[in-house]
Amino acid sequence: MREDYSHRAKPAPFLAKIYEIIDNPDNEDLVSWNANGSSFIVKDATVFARDLLPKHFKHNTFASFVRQLNNYGFSKLSTNFQEWEHEKFKRGEKHRLVEIQSKRLSSGLSVVQAATSANTRDDHSISPPRNAPLDAKSDPEIVRENKRLKKATLRQEFRKLRCMVQNIASMIEDLSDDEPASEIPVESSGTGDAQESASAHMEIDLNHA
């Protein structure tokens, strides 16, 4: 079944900008499509990073550019020179860019879906049967076992959510690389401290559950 991408108004900024750079004939001395338009070739990585990248992104590091290509599933065709391809990134097919998804975004969504599914299953497994005797709720052994199961479930969910937060933080960092330096003010961020504080509070809550 073909996936519907109509809800995505625009492709990722990184993909749109790279496509425009490659498609611009003024840049063909540094980067261009191959003969049939199925891949693109960076002819001079040093000059490409120094002269072109800063015009469109907030960095001039070729390694960061390659990291983004890998994040969106591009494959390098040769070890001798910089030729890259993606089945949905081709000359004359700009409309297909919306179909290319970040690996980190996919991973983050998978974690959320898995956590939600696990939480639903655990709720059913922990809840006592509706037809259970009323005095079962007051049985000390059953109460202790339910608390133990609940704490184990909360710890498992915490680990999954922490992984999801790390994935989202990495994805946000990658998205920030998509913006030109002139458009993004440089300022200190407390993201790391906030994550550490949130994790510490969650650990404390779990220990007292």
Residue 103 has pLDDT above 80, yes or no: yes
Dihedral over Cα of 76, 77, 83, 85: its sign? negative
Q: What is the pLDDT of residues 47-63, one digit of tens each?
A: 999 999 999 999 899 99
The mean per-residue pLDDT over the stretch 28-53 comes to 96
pLDDT confidence of 129, banded at 50, 70, 90? low
Q: What percent of the chain has pLDDT over 90?
A: 41
What mean pLDDT, rounded, does the chain reach?
A: 77
pLDDT in the model for residue 99:
95
pLDDT confidence of 146, banded at 50, 70, 90? confident
The mean per-residue pLDDT over the stretch 177-199 comes to 52
Judged by phi (left if over 0) then psi (alpha if -120 to 50, else beta), residue 92 lies in left
The mean per-residue pLDDT over the stretch 95-103 comes to 93
CA 56 to chain centre: 21
Residue 66 has pLDDT above 80, yes or no: yes
The mean per-residue pLDDT over the stretch 82-111 comes to 84
What is the identity of the amino acid at 147?
K
SS3 180: coil
State the residue for tokens 């975004």: 105
Question: What separation in angstroms does the CA of 201 have from each of 84, 157, 196, 204?
Answer: 45, 14, 9, 5
Dihedral of the CA atoms 51, 189, 69, 184 (nearest 10)? -40
pLDDT confidence of 17, banded at 50, 70, 90? very high
Smallest Cα–Cα separation from 89: which of 29, 18, 27?
Answer: 18
178 φ/ψ angles, rounded to the nearest 5 degrees? -75, -15
pLDDT in the model for residue 22:
97
The mean per-residue pLDDT over the stretch 70-81 comes to 93
Residues in the chain: 209
